[in-house]
Structure formats: C-alpha cells, structure tokens
Amino acid sequence: MEQLADKFAKSAKRLLLLDYDGTLSPLVAQPEQAGPTPRLLSLLTKLADQDNTYIYVISGRDRTSLGDWLGHLPIGMSCEHGLFFRPYTRGGVGEWQDIISTLDTAWKADIRALFKDFTDRTPGSMIESKEVNLTWHYRNADPDFGEYQKKELLMHLQDLPGMPIDILPGKKAVEVRPQGINKGSVVRRIMGLHKDVDFAVCMGDDKTDEDMFVELDNCEFENHFTVMVDKKPTTANLYVEDQDTVITLLQMFAERQ
C-alpha cells in the first residue's frame, strides 16, 4: 500500500475507479443500510477537492440510492453496471445519461415472477427492484438452504430460452441485467473523457468488477493498478485484505496529495 500511495502522490493527473458495495462500504443484510460513513464522505470530498484527481464510483446500485448518498460530491458515478452514467470534469458534474431507450426489457415480468416464486419458498430472501435490473438477495436466509436455492434459481435462469439477459451470481445474491451491459463499458467511457490521466487505480470486490479490471488493463498507459478486495481468483494485479483496508488506502491517498 505504501508504494501505491507514493505513486499516487507523484502522479500529475490521477483517476480513481471505485466499486461501492464491498469496496467503499461493507456488505450489509439490507441494501438500504449501506449508506456511506462520515469518514468515507470526508475522504471522497478531500480527494475530489484535489485539482488533479478524478473519482468515479461505478456500482450495481440504483441511481436513487447512490445519488442520495453521494450525489452532492464533485465526482462521477455509474449505476446498475453501466445503465446510468453521470460524468464529472473540472467543468462540473454532468447530467445523468442512460441507454434505456435502446434496451429490450420485456424479460422483466418473467424474471420478477421467477424471483417471487423463490422468495416465497426461501424465508429471509427478498427482491431488489432497480430501474432496470432485478436482484434476488438471500443474505438473511438460512445459509445452506439459501445456497441450495441459489443453485436451483441459476438452473432455471439458464434454461430460459432466448432472453436478452446476463445472469450475475454474486455474494448472497443473483442479479439479472440486460445483455452486454457491464462495468467495463463504463471504464472505457471514462477513459475517453480523461485521456490526460497518467495514473489510475481501480478497486472492486466481486465478479462484476472483473470487467473493469480487464478494460483498464487494455488501456494504453502503463501506470495503472487493479485491486481486488479480499484474496480470491481475479485478473487484478493487487489485493487488499478487506474493505477496511480500502478506506485505509484512500486515507493514505488523501494525505499524500
């Protein structure tokens, strides 16, 4: 971490690409309980106030929640794995942009009905309905039964014919989103807006963040680092121990501006 913080301090223009749940905020039993701590808000504010630092929070979260929690900060944001995007440059925060009009979302009724069936049969589980994506959570269900039901649900989803969807098994959750929408496309878009950066760090904690890591690795400049939270199979080139360590690293960045 010390070496990464030193590189951050020595760079001319920096870019931080940050997942939210499990990275900036710990995973919690109820999605609405994951609001940012005062410490996180203070760190993001301090970093964003640096003239040569750009921050983007790239999340699977819905934009209402992320906007309520972080919308007042001078940072860029992306929600629902790239369906919604709010750019940020030194000219200020841009308007929310979306690609909903280009999507076929007729699948939602069938997926919602399937999720409801599994929710009814899995005490402690719940459906999170975003503007487009749907997620079935089982963090509060019996752990063994929840895992069994997850496998059953995935089998049902994979057997659905011809639906334009991607299926995302996550941590105690299964998410369904429009096909071909992912966080990698967001990173590509951001790099197009900030072509003058000479240092970038991308941090995430699960499979949905691998698309970000791969896209950043495909960029043309060498001085970038991809970071996985918690040691697990990944394409990232660095690990940090846990979510608390992410906050410690951001603190080091803020202190070595």
**35-84 confidence digits (pLDDT tens):** 999 999 999 999 999 989 999 999 999 999 999 999 999 999 999 999 99
Contacts 24+ apart (CB under 8 A), 97-104: 99/181, 100/131, 100/132, 103/132, 103/178, 104/164, 104/178
What the block records as the tokens of 96 is 């929310």
Query: In this predicted structure, what is the pLDDT of residue 219?
Result: 84
Least-confidence region, from 14-23, 115-124, 168-177: 168-177
Q: Annotated catalytic sites, by residue?
A: 19
Domain range 2-99+181-255, CATH class? alpha beta
Distance separating alpha carbons of residues 125 and 164, to the nearest angstrom: 25
Q: Is the pLDDT of residue 195 over 80?
A: yes
CA separation for the pair 139, 160 (Å, rounded): 25
Q: What is the C-alpha to C-alpha distance for residues 24 and 57, in angstroms, rounded to an integer?
A: 9
pLDDT digits (tens, 9 = 90+) for 176-187: 999 988 999 999
Per-residue pLDDT of 144-181, as tens digits, reads 999 999 999 999 999 998 899 999 998 899 999 999 88
Domain ranges of the chain: 2-99+181-255, 102-178
CATH of 102-178, one of 3.30.70, 3.30.450, 1.10.287, 3.90.1070: 3.90.1070
Reported as a single tens digit per residue, the pLDDT across 26-47 is 988 788 889 999 999 999 999 9
Contact 213, 235 (CB under 8 A): yes
CA 190, CA 123: separation in Å to the nearest integer? 41
Fold match flag (2-99+181-255 vs 102-178): no
Give the dihedral sign, CA 237/213/94/220.
positive
